[in-house]
DNA sequence: TCAATCACG
DNA sequence: ACGTACGTGATTGAA
């Protein structure tokens, strides 16, 4: 509501600005130095394996999966995460668009699979198709709207939700969603098949057969049932991505141990792994990690991993 | 103890 | 007519 009103009132913009700064100060700047363990000189997060209903990890005490990156002041916090000493460098390895690749693979949507096989910018590619323009004529706005739909689809967005998230009217949003499904017809089939499966069985599954039970899937309350139906679509996507990165983590852990490497795996942030790399091992480690992450699980689309190094976590992105 | 807010993917 | 995009954790302030 305040974001909505901000355009008309300076005081509301200032309230939001203050809150943003207060958040950074209380949650990160003040709190994190208190979390340094005296014995090691490091912050030690705790990973929970049985909290998130989709199979993701969660992180607490402190949460290191929500370190700021979206604002300039927030990025200054991320800079504080550094290698153990000057003989080491941080390496961040991210799965590129893993959830969209998973939904493309599970739905066997050929057009989207082809786009990934060709190494296309999926949001631009989607924009070109749904707005029916050549790839090189896609505007920033069109790509932005296509990106919002691509993400929204994974969550089961409505025309109302999409219009709130973009500058499109409800009617335009509805048309865009319809065109999207005409562009990627197997996606709609897949989503409705997941909901049907959930109605019959009471659960849905990921690529490695992790289940999420959906007790509300046959509820007579349309609101409650609608939420369960979105869960039926989203959980296999988010959960399969979680399965894949967990397999990669196990294989990387074993490879690091077998190879007697000094490099250590430090953090997991859902589609990203962060390593403290012993500099002489860097080139070996980079190819090892890329190989293990991209081949952790064979889908009918390629997985792509982007990596970068830096003297701090911000620079490694 | 809970809801609201806001940090992340 | 209704409500309206998934998954988390930390902090704050009121109940």
By C-alpha to C1' distance, B8 is nearest to: A66
A168-211 confidence digits (pLDDT tens): 999 999 999 999 999 999 999 999 999 999 999 999 999 999 99
By C-alpha to C1' distance, B9 is nearest to: A270
The predicted pLDDT at position A9 comes to 87
Contact A104, A120 (CB under 8 A): no
Distance B8 C1' – A29 CA (angstroms): 16
**In the predicted structure, residue A165 carries a pLDDT above the cut 90:** no
Tell the residue number behind the tokens 């959830």, with chain if given: A99
The predicted pLDDT at position A40 comes to 94
- A286 φ/ψ angles, rounded to the nearest 5 degrees: -60, -45
**In the predicted structure, residue A1 carries a pLDDT above the cut 80:** no
Contacts of A171-179 spanning 24+ positions with Cβ under 8 A: A176/A130, A176/A145, A176/A149, A177/A149, A179/A130
Distance of CA A136 to CAs A123, A139, A143, A147, Å? 13, 9, 11, 16
The predicted pLDDT at position A84 comes to 97
**A257 or A5, greater pLDDT:** A257
pLDDT classification of A137: cutoffs 50, 70, 90 = very high
Strand B surroundings (CB within 7 A) = A 1-2, 16, 19-20, 23-24, 27, 65-71, 74, 238, 269-272
**Cα separation of A78 and A244, whole Å?**
26
Residues 8-37 of chain A with CB under 7 A from strand C are 22, 26-27, 31
Q: What is the mean pLDDT of residues A293-305?
A: 97
Lowest mean pLDDT among A17-21, A75-79, A96-100: A17-21
**In the predicted structure, residue A166 carries a pLDDT above the cut 80:** yes
**In the predicted structure, residue A6 carries a pLDDT above the cut 90:** no
Q: Is the CB of A56 under 7 A from strand C?
A: yes
The predicted pLDDT at position A47 comes to 96
A32-84 confidence digits (pLDDT tens): 999 999 999 999 999 999 999 999 999 999 999 999 999 999 999 999 999 99
Nucleotides of B under 7 A from a protein CB: 5-9
């Amino acid at each position: 509501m305040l974001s909505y009103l901000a355009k008309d009132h300076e005081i509301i913009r200032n309230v939001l600005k203050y809150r943003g700064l207060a958040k950074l100060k209380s949650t990160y700047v003040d709190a994190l130095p208190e979390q340094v363990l005296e014995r090691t000189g490091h912050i030690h997060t705790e990973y929970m394996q049985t909290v998130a209903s989709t199979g993701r990890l969660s992180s607490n005490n402190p949460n290191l999966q929500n370190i700021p990156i979206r604002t300039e002041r927030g990025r200054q916090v991320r800079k504080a995460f550094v290698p153990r000493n000057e003989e080491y460098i941080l390496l961040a390895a991210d799965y590129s668009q893993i959830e969209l690749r998973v939904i493309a693979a599970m739905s066997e949507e050929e057009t989207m699979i082809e786009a990934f096989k060709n190494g296309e910018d999926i949001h631009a590619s989607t924009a070109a198709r749904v707005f029916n323009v050549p790839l090189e004529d896609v505007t920033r706005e069109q790509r932005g709207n296509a990106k919002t739909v691509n993400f929204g689809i994974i969550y089961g967005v409505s025309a109302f939700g999409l219009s709130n998230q973009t500058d499109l009217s409800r009617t335009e949003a509805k048309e865009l969603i319809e065109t999207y499904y005409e562009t990627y017809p197997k996606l709609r089939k897949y989503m409705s098949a997941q909901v049907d499966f959930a109605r019959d069985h009471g659960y849905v599954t990921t690529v490695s057969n992790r289940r999420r039970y959906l007790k509300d899937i046959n509820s007579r309350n349309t609101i409650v049932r609608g939420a369960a139906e979105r869960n039926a679509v989203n959980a296999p996507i988010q959960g399969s991505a979680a399965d894949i990165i967990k397999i990669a983590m196990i294989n990387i852990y074993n490879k690091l141990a077998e190879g007697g490497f000094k490099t250590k795996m430090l953090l997991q942030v859902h589609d990203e792994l962060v390593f403290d790399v012993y500099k002489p091992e860097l080139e070996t480690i980079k190819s090892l990690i890329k190989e293990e992450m991209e081949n952790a699980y064979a889908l009918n689309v390629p997985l792509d991993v982007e990596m970068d190094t830096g003297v701090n976590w911000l620079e490694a992105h």
